[in-house]
Amino acid sequence: MTVLALLDGTIVDHTAPLLRVDDLAVQRGDGVFETIMVVDGRPRELGPHLERLARSAALLDMPPPDLAAWERCAQVVLDAWRGGREMALKLVYSRGVEGEGRPTAFAMGLPVGPETIRKRNEGLSVITLERGYAADLQERAPWLLLGAKTLSYAVNMAALRHAERNDAQEVIFTATDGTVLEGPTSTVVIAQGRTLRTPPPSSGILPGTTQGALFRAAEAAGWNTKVEPLRIEELWDTDGLWLVSSVRLITRVHTLDGKTLPDDEQRAALHREITELFESQYV
Ligand code: PLP
């Protein structure tokens, strides 16, 4: 089951041709996107996702997205969905055809893949990989579009294939100064006692909507939260390590760079607690 709607709310056949070959999304990956989790017809963190779409578009000097139109378009997809309880809602906003100055914009509803569900249930073996830039580069080099969720995910996907060739399923990117960045499609979160920590967006990573929602719920439940640089060595000394993102949710890391992380009843209980905290916001 796939639902495809144009920004004006027209539903179109997702198997029929839609994009021109000279669309800059096709030619250069020049555009931005968002992927939103929908459960029982309710989108999660829609506001933060739309805000991030607007921020990404601004970083690419694209016309500001009409957020009210995107909300209406998202609703069209939600109303037409006849699939399971969960849906991944993808918003795609490309620069459009060169010279025309008119972005291409559409929303898609897609089922959550079996691989994602397996990772959620079984946890992850993760390797750390160098991303090749300094954690303070974002401000000095805005043309690198660090912190924008662009359609150019070829590097991110290559990193995941590299992980698979090394018997892992996921990646944590690291900066040249030995700090932790993010996963190719996820945010890194650790627990140390009753404190949750995640690296700062100022290091050139995406501000995660899932991490934001988790920290909001955790603070309300009395946890401390810190958004601050995290050194690679610190990943080894945690009470919990997760990769979090909208559709994968809160996924536990059980193996890091080929070494199994401690696994006992206390850690299993912590994982349940964190997952329940996160989910409790959406019941
Ligand atoms: N970082 C990157 C590079 C991502 O692609 C994503 C999501 O796809 C995230 C972090 C997590 O963001 P969110 O929690 O908003 O899905």
* Beta bridge partners of residue 224, listed in sequence order: 195
pLDDT of residue 145: 96
Q: Which residues contact 279 (CB under 8 A, 6 or more apart)?
A: none
- Best substitution site from 186, 189, 282 to test ligand 1's pocket, by max atoms within 8 Å of Cβ? 186
What is d(CA 156, CA 100) in angstroms, rounded to the nearest whole number? Answer: 29
**Could you count the other beta carbons within 10 Å of the beta carbon of residue 114?**
8
Regarding whether 259 and 202 lie in a shared domain, the answer is: yes
pLDDT of residue 195: 98
- Best substitution site from 119, 151, 187 to test ligand 1's pocket, by max atoms within 8 Å of Cβ? 187
Secondary structure in 3-state letters for 131-188: CCCCCCHHHHCHHHCCCCCECCCHHHHHHHHHHHHCCCCEEEEECCCCEECCECCEEE
Regarding whether 108 and 122 lie in a shared domain, the answer is: no
Residues with CB under 6 A from ligand 1: 35, 182, 185-187, 206, 208-211, 245-246
Regarding whether 155 and 88 lie in a shared domain, the answer is: no
Contact present, 34 and 52 (Cβ < 8 Å): yes
27-79 residue pLDDT tens? 999 999 999 999 999 999 999 999 999 999 999 999 999 999 999 999 999 99
Look at residues 83, 112, 141 and tell me which one is the last residue of a structural domain: 112
Residue 179 CA, ligand 1 centroid: distance in Å: 18
Look at residues 54, 84, 112 and tell me which one is the last residue of a structural domain: 112
Give the number of the atom of ligand 1 that is nearest the alpha carbon of residue 37. 16
Regarding whether 36 and 71 lie in a shared domain, the answer is: yes
Task: Specify the CATH number for the domain of residue 13.
Answer: 3.30.470.10
Reported as half-sphere exposure (CB side, CA atoms, 13 A), residue 244 has a value of 27
Regarding whether 164 and 64 lie in a shared domain, the answer is: no
* Beta bridge partners of residue 92, listed in sequence order: 33, 106
Contact present, 36 and 43 (Cβ < 8 Å): yes
Structural domain harbouring 193: 117-280
The tally of domains found in the chain comes to 2
Regarding whether 251 and 158 lie in a shared domain, the answer is: yes
Give the number of the atom of ligand 1 that is nearest the alpha carbon of residue 212. 14
Task: Specify the CATH number for the domain of residue 256.
Answer: 3.20.10.10
> Can you read off the two tokens belonging to residue 86?
């969960």
Regarding whether 159 and 268 lie in a shared domain, the answer is: yes
- Name the residue type at position 198: T
Number of H helices, E strands in the chain: 8, 14
Regarding whether 88 and 122 lie in a shared domain, the answer is: no
Nearest CA to ligand 1 atom 9: 186
Whole-number Cα distances in Å, 226 to 219, 246, 265: 10, 20, 25
CA angle 122, 125, 131 (to 5 degrees): 135
Whole-number Cα distances in Å, 177 to 134, 136, 181: 6, 9, 11
Give the number of the atom of ligand 1 that is nearest the alpha carbon of residue 213. 14
Look at residues 88, 112, 136 and tell me which one is the last residue of a structural domain: 112
pLDDT of residue 249: 98
Regarding whether 164 and 93 lie in a shared domain, the answer is: no
Regarding whether 195 and 140 lie in a shared domain, the answer is: yes
Regarding whether 132 and 95 lie in a shared domain, the answer is: no
CA-based radius of gyration for the chain = 19
Regarding whether 161 and 229 lie in a shared domain, the answer is: yes
Give the number of the atom of ligand 1 that is nearest the alpha carbon of residue 49. 15
Residue 176 CA, ligand 1 centroid: distance in Å: 21
Per-residue pLDDT tens listing for the chain (283 residues)? 999 999 999 999 999 999 999 999 999 999 999 999 999 999 999 999 999 999 999 999 999 999 999 999 999 999 999 999 999 999 999 999 999 999 999 999 999 999 999 999 999 999 999 999 999 999 999 999 999 999 999 999 999 999 999 999 999 999 999 999 999 999 999 999 999 999 999 999 999 999 999 999 999 999 999 999 999 999 999 999 999 999 999 999 999 999 999 999 999 999 999 999 999 999 8
Residue 100 CA, ligand 1 centroid: distance in Å: 30
Reported as half-sphere exposure (CB side, CA atoms, 13 A), residue 171 has a value of 21
